[in-house]
Structure 1
Amino acid sequence: MALFLLVFAVCLLIFGGMVGLLLLSGTPRFRTDPEQLLTLFDQALEGRVNESEWNAIMGYPIRHDDYLDGVRRRAQRLMEEHGNHGRAARGKPLLDATGHGELEALRAHLASRQALRERQRSVE
């Protein structure tokens, strides 16, 4: 009987500790920042990004910044309208010529906004 109680207490301690760790650990969060979007846009414009990388970032909503989420949704729309699925796997650019030009404009707009925010932060 003493052995049973000892094994039961050890198991209870292990399971209780695991439940406690799971309750205290936070949910991992991924926060997309403007630099990540700019890097992804640069890679897409240079033809160095594949669809999996593109979809991993563009498919995840950005809840902490409405402007960035709008940029993400616009880039996603560009892919739907001007992207040819499987092009990157064949060694071709991810977007056609029209989409490439629109992505360049979107990237320039995001870069100028980010530069303006950085200047405002340095003044403060």
Structure 2
Amino acid sequence: MIRTCWDLGARPEFRALRLRPWAHMLGFRGHFASKSRAYSLNLTDLRNARATHRAAEARERHGLPALGDATTLVLGHWRFAGIGYTPGEAIMAEQIRQRVQTARKIAAEREDG
């Protein structure tokens, strides 16, 4: 069909139809996301199926059992990650605290004055 469209587009009597620029569109039935809701699959179902498949792959890769409807995943190991700010975060937090305090003082002075 594309070849025929290309050949016909070269003929002077069909030049006004602009067949050559549109030859690559033959058989294209619209944007993939513009299909109706009654179509056999929708994008939500595809995303959910992909997420389920990727999760199953990850469980298999890490040697975890497959999850069923009655399965509860229990994490048995915890590791302490720390508490409070790092030294750099403490400096930034103090700077922010000072800016807020200064802004509040300025606002209070404007209300009084």
TM bin, normalised by shorter chain, reads: under 0.3
Whichever structure has more helix as a proportion of its residues is 1
Q: Please, what TM-score do these two structures have when normalized by structure 2?
A: 0.24
Q: Please, what TM-score do these two structures have when normalized by structure 1?
A: 0.22
Greater Rg over alpha carbons, structure:
2
